[in-house]
Amino acid sequence: MTMTGPVAGTARESRESAVVRFAGDSGDGMQLTGSQFTTESALAGSDLTTFPDFPAEIRAPVGTTFGVSAFQIHFGSVDVMTAGDELDVLVAMNPAALITNLHDLRLGGLIVVDSAAFTTRNLEKAGYKANPLEDNSLAPYQLLSLDVTRLTQLAVADAGISSKEALRCRNMWALGLMLWMYGRSREATRGWLKKKFAKNAPIAEANVAALDAGHAYGETAELGHGLHGFTVTRADLAPGLYRTVTGTEAMAWGLVAGLQATGLKRLVFGSYPITPASPLLHVLAKLRKFGVVTFQAEDEIAAVCSAIGASYAGALGVTSSSGPGIALKTEAIGLAISTELPLVVVNVQRGGPSTGLPTKTEQSDLFQAVYGRNGDSPLPVISTSTPSDCFEVGIEAVRLATKYMTPVILLSDGYLANAAEPWLLPDVNSLPQFPVAQRTDPEGFHPFLRNPETLARAWAVPGTPGLEHRIGGLEKSAETGHISYDPANHQKMTDLRAAKINGIARDIPRQEVSLGEETGDLAVVGWGSTWGPIQQAVRRARNRGQSVSHIQIRYLHPFPSNLGELLRGFGQVLVPEMNTGQLVTMLRSTFLVPAEGLNKVNGKPFKIGEITAAIDARLEAQS
């Protein structure tokens, strides 16, 4: 072992929070390693947020920079809302992982590397002209250079596995060391390994041996080499039963809770594989006994059409995709608007345009959701801000779709779908209930009879005697539901469709301020996964005495009825978005407020520091 850099103490030091990133080849098992570190941290009582960041290639060529897969976790005793701006520890399994991740490490942060991976060939592939472990270029950091390869081989020598299989245990060795460093248990991981490799005992044994060896190494090294461990105290979370949850899981369960709230028997989920939305199909595919029928269609169009067909026949139709797939579904969403059928469309956004950055997050489909269809075709658009928020928003999407007989677009993103956080499990008995009544009475029926309050049309489903009717994408008479080309009727129907959706503003909560006063110098307005960094940046600004508030908008169309008035109560409005300025444009055009954007599209979530800097710049310019 070599240990360079600022001298480290030997005692276990206390920390409020820490940010650790595991980085390696896409075949090195970094996502599993990170997930297990997450589980152990959660079980130890930390609040946390994770950020899995992986390449689009499944197994990119070994040692290349574009094949680096990383998993970042921010955990601590304080309110953790982002995956962390800067890393405290970077575990780099090869030179490519080091060179692509080093810039996120804070000065003085710890680098743990497997020195055996720093071969001439790997250094060349990563673009290093000299070995960074030897040329003093890592001097600003603490460097822990270990021959993890050899240490792992030694640890698993007795397991009776091949040398190739032995090498695949390196990630568990690194995990063991990091679990030691933060004083975490290995119990859950041991159990998980035994279960995962239940059919291959030698592999399970080898992985556990590597895990234990990494852990033991930390304990031993602490005595002799000054490597030190940390204590991160438990977070002050509300009492109750917790689990970690990803946005994908919470979304799936929210949709199921929504189904149960309606009293409908079946949810038909039509979907087509696309990154990063497919995991929602995978989770829902296991939920048949909850009345969920998943259908992997031949394409995105068939996926949405099957969901629409299902809604027409009285089930809850749901489809999901990411931007390119949503583009393909667009015509069919228009049909659901025209025929006024309930439909939930989940868009797990990714970088665009076109194929763009499939595995990187972005918020650039807002315009697509709100405006991206032919004709005047309004529908509600709502967004989710954190992984666990996906649960509530999933329920809300079902409520709006069934109550207003309309497609609803639910905007999530790649970061939220994959990120995990602790979640206080909700009491299922206190979840909202909104039973849906399908029409059965033939008296005076026509398919476009409307509820005078919501303007929703009657949902009459095949199988119901006496309600046989025909609907379609042609304009229909407001009075009879039959096809109508009458000009005045088209005006009336267009107005009705708009009024129905606009009326939803009366049925959603007033816009509240997430943090701060209802008036002030600056409002920082966000939507979606920018919630965490905005909240933290605003908190810091307020701690410094700045007059800043955070407003997080869930309902993007229609906006909450008081939003304009609320925004006008601030001297300035700053809108951070992972796009080139979509919400900010909508706010400016809707409310004529001088909102300004803070925009970036580099495939990564905002850092708190980036928003802090923008807050400071606005307030300094003002003063």
Partner 1 sequence: MTTPTLAAKDYASNQEVRWCPGCGDYAILKAVTKTLADLQLVKENTVFVSGIGCASRFPYYMSTYGFHTIHGRAPAIATGVKLANPELDIWVVMGDGDGLSIGGNHTLHVLRRNVDLTLLLFNNEIYGLTKGQASPTSRRGTHSPSTPRGSLDTPLIPGAFALGAGARFFARAVDIQQSLLVDVMRRAHDHRGAALVEIFQNCVVFNDGVFHEFTARDVVDDNQVHVEHGKPLRFGKGGVRGLRVRPGTQQLEVITPGEDGMTDADVLVHDERDISLANMLVRLEAPVFPVAVGVIYDHPARTYETDLMAEVAAESAGGAGDLGELMAGGQTWER
Quote the least distance from Cβ 313 to partner 1, whole Å: 4
Phi, psi of 136 (to 5 degrees): 70, 10
- Among positions 157, 201, 437, 483, the unique one binding partner 1 when judged by CB under 8 A: 483
**What does the block give as tokens for 219?**
């304990």
Q: What angle in degrees, to the nearest 10, is found between the helix axes of 323-339 and 300-312? A: 30
Q: Is 5 in the site for partner 1 (CB under 8 A)?
A: no
Of 9-17, 152-160, 255-263, 594-602, which segment contacts partner 1 by CB under 8 A? Answer: 255-263
Q: Is 346 in the site for partner 1 (CB under 8 A)?
A: no
How is residue 235 annotated by DSSP? P
Cα-based distances in Å from 370 to 93, 325, 332, 333, 555: 43, 16, 15, 12, 11
Phi, psi of 531 (to 5 degrees): -55, -50
User: What is the contact mask toward partner 1 in residues 270 to 299, using x (rule: CB under 8 A)?
Assistant: x----------------xxxxx-x-x-xxx
Q: Is 436 in the site for partner 1 (CB under 8 A)?
A: no
Could you give the 3-state DSSP secondary structure of residue 354? coil
Quote the least distance from Cβ 297 to partner 1, whole Å: 7
Q: Is 534 in the site for partner 1 (CB under 8 A)?
A: no
Q: Indicate the burial class of 543 (C-beta count within 10 angstroms; 0-12, 13-18, 19 or more).
A: exposed
Cβ proximity to partner 1, 98 vs 268, nearer residue: 268
Quote the least distance from Cβ 517 to partner 1, whole Å: 31
Q: Smallest Cα–Cα separation from 414: which of 344, 351, 320? A: 351
- Among positions 39, 100, 142, 511, the unique one binding partner 1 when judged by CB under 8 A: 39
- Among positions 224, 239, 435, 545, the unique one binding partner 1 when judged by CB under 8 A: 239
- Among positions 169, 268, 501, 619, the unique one binding partner 1 when judged by CB under 8 A: 268
Quote the least distance from Cβ 419 to partner 1, whole Å: 17
Cβ proximity to partner 1, 227 vs 261, nearer residue: 261
Cα-based distances in Å from 450 to 403, 435, 457, 484, 496: 12, 18, 4, 17, 10
- Among positions 311, 386, 535, 572, the unique one binding partner 1 when judged by CB under 8 A: 311
Q: Smallest Cα–Cα separation from 281: which of 247, 309, 319, 250? A: 319
Could you give the 3-state DSSP secondary structure of residue 431? coil
Quote the least distance from Cβ 420 to partner 1, whole Å: 11
Alpha helices in 297-430 (DSSP H): 300-312, 323-339, 366-371, 389-404, 414-418
Cβ proximity to partner 1, 192 vs 591, nearer residue: 192
For residues 325-344, which are near partner 1 according to CB under 8 A? 331-332, 334-335, 339
For residues 172-201, which are near partner 1 according to CB under 8 A? 188
Q: Smallest Cα–Cα separation from 74: which of 16, 10, 4? A: 16
Q: Is 384 in the site for partner 1 (CB under 8 A)?
A: no
Residues that bind partner 1 (CB under 8 A): 39, 42-43, 45, 188, 237-244, 253, 256-257, 260, 266, 268, 270, 287-291, 293, 295, 297-299, 301-302, 305-315, 317, 331-332, 334-335, 339, 424-428, 461-474, 482-483
